[in-house]
Structure formats: C-alpha cells, structure tokens
Amino acid sequence: MASLRRMKTVIQSPVDPGFMQNPYPFYDTARAEGDLVYWEDYKKTAAVSHRAVQALLKDRRFGREVPNELHRPGPDHLSPWLKVEAHSLLEAESPRHTRLRALVMRAFTSRAIAALEPSIHDLSHALIDDFPDTPFDLLDAFCTQIPVITICRLLGVPAEMSPNLLRWSHAMVAMYQASRTRETEDAAAMAAQDFTAFLGDYIEQRRTDPQDDLITRLIAAEEDGEKLSRDELVATCVLLLNAGHEATVHSLGNGVKTVLQLGLGAQIFAPDQIDGTVEEILRYDPPLHMFTRYAYEDVEIFDHSFKRGDEVALLLGAANRDAAVWKDPHRFDPTRHIVTNTSFGGGLHFCVGAPLARLEMRIALIALFRRWPTLHLSEAPEYSNTYHFHGLTRLMVQV
C-alpha cells in the first residue's frame, strides 16, 4: 500500500486482560503517533484522533458496505446470520441506505420516542422498588431491563419475550467481538434463525391485526412507492433491538460504575445537570469503541493514501479522549461544555436510536440516584472480553 508518510505500527492484543480493563493508555500511545496508525493485531489502519474519526465518519468516499469486487459469500454455517446482515440498515450505503433509513424514520419518529417517557419513568421506579437489601447485580436488575423492555414496547413485542430477545441479541452481536470463535458463530447462526422465525410470525400477525406500535408503522411506511420487504422488516427490527439495548446497557453500567467509583454525589443527576452528566458518561467511557469503513475510491487523507477496498477502523473510544478537544480528557467532569463526541457515530450512519438512548439514560439515572443516593459498589467491577464493545461483566452494588 502506497503511503504519503511512514505510518507507525502499533501492537496491542484486543483480548489482553489489561487492555480489556483499560484501553485508554493504548489509545494515548497510538494517538501520539498521529491521526492514523496501523494496528498490527487487526491488520488495519486505525483512526485514533478526534478530527480523523469525525472526518472519516462523514466522508462519503468511505462506507460500511463491502465493495462489490471484494464481496465473498460467507460460510454455509453462518447463512442465517449473514442473511439478516445483508438487509441491515447498518451495513447499507446509498441509495439502499437512503431508502431504508427514510422508511425507518417515518416510523421511528420523535413523537413515538417522546410518548415512551412516562412508561420509562414508571418502569425505572418499578425496578427500583424490587431492589433487594443484599448485594445484587445492577446490570441485570436495572441497566439491562430498561432498554430491552422499552424496545419491546416500542416494537409492540410482548415484554415477556425479553429474555429470549436478550439471548438472541447477545449471541448475534458477539460476532463483532475480537474473541469470536466457531462456537460464537454457531450460536449467532442459531439465534438469527430463531429471531427471524419469531419476528416473521409476529410481522404477519401485525399485517392482519395492526396496532399502535413500531412494527405496524414499519409495515405501513412507504417511500417513493416502495415499502420494506419482509427480509428488510426482520433485519430492521433485529437491528433496533440489538443496537437499541446493547449500547444503552453498557452506557448505563459504565456510567454508574464511574460515578460510584469516584464518589460523586447525586447532585450531578439533578434535572438541570442531567444532560451534561449523560454526555460526559457517553464521552468518558462509551459502549462501542470501534466502527469500520471501506474506502470506495483512492483517497489521500491525513498524510495517508487509501486504495479502494482498504478498510479503516475508527476508534471511537480514542477520539473521545483526545486532549486536542477536551482539556484533561481522562478526568470525568459532568460540568464540561458539551462538545460533540463520537459515541453514536456520525454522518450517514449516525445512530437512529440516539434520542431514545439519551432519554432512557436521563430518566433512569435521575430515578436511580434520587431513590438511592447511598448506592455503593459491593465489589470491584470488571469489563468483559467483548472488544470492540466495552461493557461490564456485572455491576455488584448495595443500597
């Protein structure tokens, strides 16, 4: 690969225990070498500065969809998972992405999201009512329940299905982890098959019995005379559930962990401060640390020459700790002036569910620390081996 300068090669196993627990020193080391580095372990160029990550997120010469000449059929054992991915909004580029996103946005409206506020409030307090007096896992009892039950309600899927939906979702998103194995692949394929069968049946029910829910609105949505196909409907519902709860679970868990470790008071969750606190949580310890793009043409940018088909890793976690943008970036400061972070991506693929995630975090955190200002850790939290995601294995607390 031709290069305008000699790019620095960095080496860091993404499954190294020290890196899993704290990837930020590696990001600092990499960023000191320039906007772009070559990450040997991934065999990819990686963008590590805020300006490079933001620029590449918005540069239409790069995208998520694999260039046609590089596309290869996947292994047969992964076909159920690959079929869902093939119709996913997240993996599409224009014009397919433009059509799919327009149809989703007609159904996933700000009004529909705002209408969820009372139910998120009631759910948060109901979950807190059930907290035991003995140490318990806040991830399982609170952080996971709020986003998955909310997405179920939004889609119109019975909340009692949430354990199955969680199991399927965890299995499918594990495909993106550095620790992926053949066992991971088999579990993802089975989950995709079961998830698709469930949603297919449920979509057919909604065709004959429409309700005031997202699945019904997705069925009815139309753009330039075109509607979502059955495969697109299934993939969209899978994406909304997988992306809509995984990131929020980790954001809530990472945020509560940080606040409790630092001994910050409940005042940072006051209604007049909560927006700043939520943004700082998202910046300081985001749930997703890497998002990849392909070059669609030969591009010279940040002193590097990309060839069509080259893949670049955008390190969102590194961009969010860039001292060129945030003073003392490793300090958690909810009073910071809000500057756009990269936690929800950017450009064409900016997260559709960002407003819902922020709403869930605001309501849940206010309720949690208002009801239990003495909440404290009962054991040291640990992050799981799930990079490029960044979330805890559990969060043991006591009230």
| CATH superfamily of the domain spanning 9-398 | Cytochrome P450 (1.10.630.10)
d(CA 147, CA 120): 9
Q: Sort strands 311-315 and 44-47 into parallel, antiparallel or unpaired.
A: parallel
Query: Percentages helix, strand, coil for the chain, rounded to the nearest 5?
Result: 55, 10, 35
Per-residue confidence (pLDDT) for residue 223, from 0 to 100: 63
What's the token pair of residue 334?
Answer: 């909810």
- Judged by DSSP in three states, 44 sits in strand
Please check whether residue 369 is in contact with residue 375, taking contact to mean a CB–CB distance below 8 angstroms: yes
Per-residue confidence (pLDDT) for residue 257, from 0 to 100: 98
d(CA 146, CA 96): 32
Q: pTM, whole model, 2 decimals?
A: 0.93
Per-residue confidence (pLDDT) for residue 3, from 0 to 100: 44
User: Which of 230, 173, 242, 236 lies closest to 200, judged by CA?
Assistant: 230
Domain map (residue ranges) of the chain? 9-398
**Alpha-carbon distances, residue 201 vs 148, 150, 198, 234 (angstroms):** 20, 21, 5, 10
Per-residue confidence (pLDDT) for residue 2, from 0 to 100: 41
Q: Sort strands 44-47 and 299-301 into parallel, antiparallel or unpaired.
A: unpaired
- DSSP secondary structure letters along 246-264: HHHHHHHHHHHHHHHHHT-
d(CA 240, CA 228): 15
- Judged by DSSP in three states, 384 sits in coil
**What's the N-to-C CA distance of the chain in angstroms?**
56
d(CA 174, CA 190): 13
User: Which of 100, 103, 13, 34 lies closest to 64, judged by CA?
Assistant: 100
What's the token pair of residue 349?
Answer: 């693929």
What's the token pair of residue 54?
Answer: 């933001």
Per-residue confidence (pLDDT) for residue 256, from 0 to 100: 97
Q: Quick one: CA dihedral 371, 373, 377, 381, positive or negative?
A: positive
Q: Sort strands 9-10 and 36-39 into parallel, antiparallel or unpaired.
A: parallel
Please check whether residue 278 is in contact with residue 369, taking contact to mean a CB–CB distance below 8 angstroms: no
Contacts 24+ apart (CB under 8 A), 232-235: 232/87, 232/100, 233/199, 233/203, 234/84, 234/87, 234/195, 234/196, 234/199, 234/200, 234/203, 235/84, 235/85, 235/86, 235/87, 235/88, 235/89
Per-residue confidence (pLDDT) for residue 103, from 0 to 100: 81
Tens digits of residue pLDDT in 146-177: 999 999 988 899 889 999 999 999 999 999 99
Instruction: Establish whether the linkage from the previous residue to 75 is cis, with ω within 30° of 0.
Output: no
**Ranges of residues in the chain whose predicted pLDDT is under 70:** 1-5, 222-224
